[in-house]
A and B are shown apart, each in its own frame.
Chain A
């Protein structure tokens, strides 16, 4: 076995193992931590496929930004242990359906590989996915989709801020409650004053 094969098998095993851990943990924080390991192992696999730019992007965007978002939200919404165990009770028909789908999909992949013998080995034309090369193809062949993603990110930013704001209906209610309380207190004060004067 060459060094590349060793790296592939090692990190493929890590990826599969951590993926199983992500979906099987009861505590969402543990899932998020296993997800980090999974994303890093896939980043290493990108490197074995001559895609160093995507390896860096994977580490920065996924393992850096997205998992941090997950961990933040898990901490914000930290629910009790009993909630966790209740929330992860699998539904009765899901397990057989999942296993059946799994076997079906694996079968489909194996059949697809069997009928496509030409792609059994990686190609000999090696194009290194450096930041320069990927940037050139992004800005030459995919300029319009690239600009569209900037609109998408802007829309996501606005949407996330809108959803994440402190619900103004709730705030208005609180304000109204406070105003009512203040009114009642003021009225009580004037009444007591009138009583005093009388």
Chain B
């Protein structure tokens, strides 16, 4: 690995752009699965900035944080997709977010 030359700012801006794209995906899409994928994009954007700051200060705490974020993301996806499948089975066989408007049925 050569001596670092890419400024930290570029990583920060890239992270912000990816986060914005993910947030727009959450707003735009009505398919719950794609909304989940957009949330993953946002989590990854935050992870990228955490790793960049970890690199900036020469400390590994940021990378430990990214490890925890990955764990939480995996748990979130497992439970969330289980919820989607349960809703798909019990309601009108759709994954449209607009159809999920009651807490109990």
The answer to whether the Cβ of A192 comes within 8 Å of any Cβ in the partner chain is no
Judge whether B38 and A70 touch: CB under 8 Å: no
State how many angstroms separate the Cβ of A73 from the closest Cβ of chain B: 5
Judge whether B77 and A70 touch: CB under 8 Å: yes
Q: List B residues 6-64 near A (Cβ within 8 Å).
A: 6-14, 16-25, 27-31, 33-34, 36-38, 40-41, 44, 47-48, 51-52, 54-61, 63-64
Q: List A residues 52-66 near B (Cβ within 8 Å).
A: 53-54, 57-58, 61-62, 65-66
Indicate which residue in B11, B16, B21, B38 contacts A49 across the interface (CB closer than 8 Å). B11
Judge whether B56 and A16 touch: CB under 8 Å: no
Which bracket fits the contact residues of A? 35 or more
Interface of B, secondary structure class, is helix
Indicate which residue in B9, B21, B48 contacts A45 across the interface (CB closer than 8 Å). B48
The answer to whether the Cβ of A190 comes within 8 Å of any Cβ in the partner chain is no
- Number of residue pairs spanning A and B whose beta carbons lie under 8 angstroms apart: 264
Interface centre among A66, A90, A167 (most CB of B within 10 A): A66
Chain A residues, CB < 8 A from B59 = 127
Chain B residues, CB < 8 A from A123 = 4, 55-58
Known contacts A105-B19, A167-B86, A122 near B75 by CB under 8 Å: no
Which A residues are within 8 Å of any B CB, using their own CB? 2-5, 8, 12, 15-16, 19-20, 22-25, 28, 31-32, 35, 38-39, 42, 45-46, 48-51, 53-54, 57-58, 61-62, 65-66, 69-70, 73-74, 76-77, 79, 83-84, 86-91, 94-95, 97-98, 101-102, 105-106, 109-110, 112-113, 119-127, 129, 133-134, 137-138, 141-142, 145, 149, 152-153, 155-157, 159-164, 167, 170
Which B residues are within 8 Å of any A CB, using their own CB? 1-14, 16-25, 27-31, 33-34, 36-38, 40-41, 44, 47-48, 51-52, 54-61, 63-64, 66-68, 70-79, 81-86, 88-90, 93-96
The 10 closest A-B pairs by CB, nearest first: A23-B25, A125-B58, A163-B82, A156-B75, A122-B4, A160-B82, A98-B24, A49-B55, A19-B21, A109-B16
